[in-house]
Chain A
């Protein structure tokens, strides 16, 4: 029997998911999204559908996310948050994002944040998925964000963050402690 065809859509969704999965399993390491589509479009295509919800402040991304038939919800109720660029002005809203409850920590929001990797604020990561410590440099994310994340992530509660730079992606699950000066 010949196996069912591995269609382009199938391959895109799977390869994007594998990048997301390994990025979350080995926090701080850089993984590659497939090359042939814009990054947030790939992520939306592999995770979003009508059973889930999103929030974004980016007017250009809005129709792309709506295409997945996921529900656009206010910041405090959405499951997936997309910030192609993040500034200090977004942080007040982000403070409302769901961090889950003790009974259902899986209801917490997942944030996808556009940034530049490899330069800027040096971070040291420790926690599950990291053998000892992992160094990471990030620019384009305001420093108060890292203070906010520190205050919000009280395991098992907190956000799961992905840093996206072009097709490069780094995962920061809530279980990871981020140290910076």
Chain B
């Protein structure tokens, strides 16, 4: 054997940027996260040429999954064309040679900042969510070690108290995004700052969801076909955003998640938040069934219940 046989050809970067050790470590942690749905698995979180807090958690997971045959979609608040999404997408393709798409159904890996697309994702797709704050208990205890002890004991009394206080003060749950949800009947997660509209989409989904916080160095997973319930008292059901009557100004569609565009005269116009879906509608492309149908009914019948105003 000569030295040349052992040496690799010169390359400036490892495939998919991260070196083999980094990828192996992250892959070991991803497997543990899938085996323990909702449990926050610590991981090393390596340096990337993107600052922490700009999606490095999601990016590392994507880089550990991506290969030349992958098809990647990256969205930021539903949009494929925002700066954060465009930069991450360019970096991923430069480092892996993977194909990109704006079509939810064609993607094998879908990295998202704070939205789940409107069209129902299918088996074998991986949804990677960027998470700024993985700890659902941060609002009730600032101490990380205390919070992990509470998770260990499944001691979630304080977060229920928080919800009760919201009902007493405002007669509704006021948490808008990252609504705390119970996964597989055991761990409460923060489903990353997706709107309440998207939270039910994690329940018994066909796809795999990986949530990763690069700055906080923790990742957790919602495997396919896993029960996910937003926290709610039995007599005051959880509600998604009420956007009835909001019509998209470009596609004319209703009962999908909308961006509100304030106008100079004080009124507002609305626009589909999911730009890939809007693009398909505009081009009269073939669209797949959506999580919420055109009447606003969720695809798991009976999962969302009609609103109840609490009597306190």
Min Cβ gap A132→B in Å is 8
Contact B97 A6 (CB under 8 A): yes
Which residues of B211-265 are within 8 A (CB) of A?
A: 223-227
* A131 vs B122: C-alpha distance when bound (angstroms): 13
Contact A174 to B36, CB < 8 A, known contacts A5-B9, A25-B208, A110-B31? yes
* A105 vs B154: C-alpha distance when bound (angstroms): 13
Contact B96 A3 (CB under 8 A): yes
Contact A21 B25 (CB under 8 A): no
In the complex, chain B residues whose CB is within 8 Å of the CB of A130: 225
In the complex, chain B residues whose CB is within 8 Å of the CB of A1: 94
Contact A49 to B152, CB < 8 A, known contacts A3-B15, A25-B34? no
Min Cβ gap B189→A in Å is 13
In the complex, chain B residues whose CB is within 8 Å of the CB of A47: 24, 27-28, 31
Contact A46 B24 (CB under 8 A): yes
User: Residues 3-15 of chain A: 1 if any B CB is under 8 Å from the residue's CB, otherwise 0?
Assistant: 1111101110111
Interface membership of A102, Cβ < 8 A: yes
Closest residue of A by beta carbon distance from B225: A131
* A46 vs B65: C-alpha distance when bound (angstroms): 13
Which residues of A160-175 are within 8 A (CB) of B?
A: 160, 173-175
Of A2, A46, A128, chain B has the most CB atoms within 10 Å of the CB of: A128
> Which of B36, B95, B206, B224 contacts A175 (CB under 8 A)?
B36
In the complex, chain B residues whose CB is within 8 Å of the CB of A145: none
* A136 vs B201: C-alpha distance when bound (angstroms): 29
Interface membership of A89, Cβ < 8 A: no
Closest residue of A by beta carbon distance from B92: A3
In the complex, chain A residues whose CB is within 8 Å of the CB of B95: 3-4
Closest residue of B by beta carbon distance from A1: B94
In the complex, chain A residues whose CB is within 8 Å of the CB of B148: 103
Q: How many residues of A contact B (CB 8 A)?
A: 43
> Which of A21, A48, A49, A102 contacts B31 (CB under 8 A)?
A21
> Which of A10, A25, A48, A106 contacts B224 (CB under 8 A)?
A25
Contact A102 B35 (CB under 8 A): no
* A13 vs B123: C-alpha distance when bound (angstroms): 23
In the complex, chain B residues whose CB is within 8 Å of the CB of A129: 34, 223-226
In the complex, chain B residues whose CB is within 8 Å of the CB of A46: 24, 27
User: Residues 10-21 of chain B: 1 if any A CB is under 8 Å from the residue's CB, otherwise 0?
Assistant: 011111110011
Contact A20 B31 (CB under 8 A): yes
Contact B149 A103 (CB under 8 A): yes
Min Cβ gap A135→B in Å is 15
* A46 vs B21: C-alpha distance when bound (angstroms): 10
* A66 vs B36: C-alpha distance when bound (angstroms): 28
User: Residues 86-128 of chain A: 1 if any B CB is under 8 Å from the residue's CB, otherwise 0?
Assistant: 0000000000000001110110001000000000000000001
Min Cβ gap A52→B in Å is 7
Given A14-B23, A21-B34, A24-B31: 5 more A-B contacts, CB < 8 Å:
A9-B20, A21-B65, A22-B208, A103-B148, A129-B225
Residues on B close to A: CB < 8 A? 8-9, 11-17, 20-21, 23-25, 27-37, 39, 41-42, 64-65, 67-68, 93-97, 123-124, 148-149, 152-153, 184, 186-187, 204, 206, 208, 223-227
Residues on A close to B: CB < 8 A? 1-7, 9-11, 13-15, 17-18, 20-22, 24-26, 46-49, 51-52, 101-103, 105-106, 110, 128-131, 155-156, 160, 173-175
A-B contact pairs, 13 of them (CB 8 A): A3-B95, A4-B95, A6-B15, A10-B20, A13-B24, A21-B27, A21-B208, A25-B224, A49-B25, A106-B39, A128-B223, A128-B227, A129-B225
